[in-house]
Structure 1
Amino acid sequence: MHDRAPQPVDRQLPTDEARDLFSLVRDLVQREIAPKAAEEEEAGRFPRDVFTLLSESGLLGLPYDSEYGGGDQPYEVYLQVLEELAAARLTVGLGVSVHSLSCHALAGYGSKQQQAEHLPAMLGGGLLGAYCLSEPASGSDAASLRTKAVRDGEDWVLTGTKAWITHGGVADFYTVFARSGGEGRHGITAFLVPGDAEGLSAAAPEKKMGMKGSPTAQLHFDGVRVPDSRRIGEEGQGFAIALSALDSGRLGIAACAIGLAQAALDAALAYATERRQFGRRIADFQGLRFMLADMATQIEASRALYLAAARLRDTGKPFSKQAAMAKLLCTDTAMKVTTDAVQVLGGYGYTADFPVERYMREAKMLQIVEGTNQIQRMVIARHLAGPESR
């Protein structure tokens, strides 16, 4: 008896509006993203035209307030959109997640005047953002950042270098965290910096093992002047703002990871049901059937965890621990599933003729960005053992 063909993901969409939104997303994926994904990634081409289209379609501001051009969608819906985009091309799904992360500070901590002035263009005006926290010597230990912000009259002067910046050099605006006071987490302030600010420059993009279409670069701030009207929140509040953004951003990474894992499973299933050895489909051999069953189970369990965390966020409940758990489990799942997908395809899985080798290379990155999975374990343990634990 033959297995049935893989079925589309059964999305948990709470409203008719959300179901219509997914019809739009799937249409864009099938027409504009998936057909070109492999070729564009191999060539290392950044899909700015796709982000422009997503902005015009109202998909770059989904979890934000419609008063400023957002989509008023709960995180439960927004994250499933990210998963759908990432399954087609991780560069796009992750790019939307990073853009949402870069908007979080202004949307959550900016003044009404700042929000009215900047958010409409950021959420639906074709702009693309980036989030600037990490530095060459300050990654996991983000509170030790050295980029300086010195007050000069009504301006701030930013000097230093940021590292590992997704969309570095191509973004229209940067949410930047810089040291405006003493050492530690209480001396950091957030700023909204235009991408064309004088004194701001980007290094050549990093040469990475995956995500070649998504530029990652250092940013150099050589006396960049930023008016105080672009300071976000209070002086010294920047690190708290950064951590708040990362809680939500980690859910975005989790959703992207499951999109990538689902794409790998779909590719492995398609191959296993077509490839024949010893007179029958390789999907009929118990060893492979168990491997595929484990892959599917890991994906479903991980998806359930990130959606549960999203519902906590949507209802205003604490979700930091669950966000760390979701980022940890989902990205580890993506790494395991994509590795197993290569194994299912055997020698073909190791070639660029099939997408699973690219999926495996991309999955590794997800275990590192927005807090390594070792950092996620530290966050989870701190919630379990109490705030005084170190």
Structure 2
Amino acid sequence: MKSKGIGAVPLRMLVMSLTGSCNLACRYCYAAAQDRRTMTWETARRAIDLAATGKMPFILQFSGGEPLLALPLLRQMADYVRSKRIPARMDLQTNGTLLTEETATFLRRARIGIGVSLDGRPAVHDALRCYPDGRGTAADVIAGIRQLAQCGMEIGLTTVVTADNVTELSGVVEMAYYLGNVRRVGFDLLRPQGRGSAVRSARAEDMAQAMEAVFALNRKLGRMIGHSMAISQMEQAACLAQRTGSGFSHCHAMNGAGVHVDALGNIYACSSFVGDAHFLLGDVERGIDVQRQKEVAQEMQNAMAFCRTCVDFSACGGACYARRAEQGHPAASDAECALKRAAMKESLNVAVQCNKRTGQ
């Protein structure tokens, strides 16, 4: 094990599960069986220091469980990053139900970026994301987002796409415009793990049709208010269109530049494989096993080798290893390809229209 190592390359993304506990019982939760304990301050500090050793800017994402259940720890971590002048961009992914005025004020002052999970209009969202007693969460999520708006905070929305809501994705765009402080919407396909193994994945043809509707509505509403909503997949497509390389770029785990630290301090290549010893890379006390990290990254790339034969690979960056591996065979589902191709097409259309307006 490499002592106090940062890995094969400087980390560009550190995802930290502050707690395995959650106040919801989402139908598709892939992490439902993970340890419920909360991270200690010593573990948190060591993880941040490990990433900071690379002396390069990195994304520090607070995750869970529901990270706001560990709010005191979150405050300590934000203070530490600021006081030590660590070059980290802090992001928080939350279910949105615990956002009070006090919490929203803290997040704004700490300059923590916010991503809130919303799976559609209230009825659609409530069918997928509920409390343990079966009550829907949409009303509380909307109230939390409004608390952030009152503090002047813009947010991103993340939507988990399943067979149950794929035909309703336009509703997410409607909600984003309605809420007023949403700057970006992203779509995350179901991971068939945990409770998610009992939920049907979206079909490729449904995904393609849904994204056409999403982009059409976004254009329409954008014309009405003077600017369109940012779509994460379009932004990624536009970024990749400018790159000169052609390697995997779906996530940092594929090249060893990203890791996930669980509440106990164990370091994994990806959040989807927490608890799986095969993807364990080390721990925050002893550091990252560089050789194992390289082996796992190469294993992921080898398993996704079929992506390299695709004409869209350079502009796509490759598919998600974790999502496809859990479906039995990496090439088992084309829904992700449909999502990315739709985003690439729309991104190109936007670029062409922009060039026409500017006379380029």
TM-score over 0.5 for the pair? no
Structure with more helix by fraction: 1
Q: Structure 1 length normalisation: TM-score?
A: 0.30
Q: Structure 2 length normalisation: TM-score?
A: 0.32
Larger Cα Rg: Structure 1 or Structure 2?
Answer: 1
Structure with more contact order per residue of length (Cα contacts < 8 Å, sep ≥ 6): 2
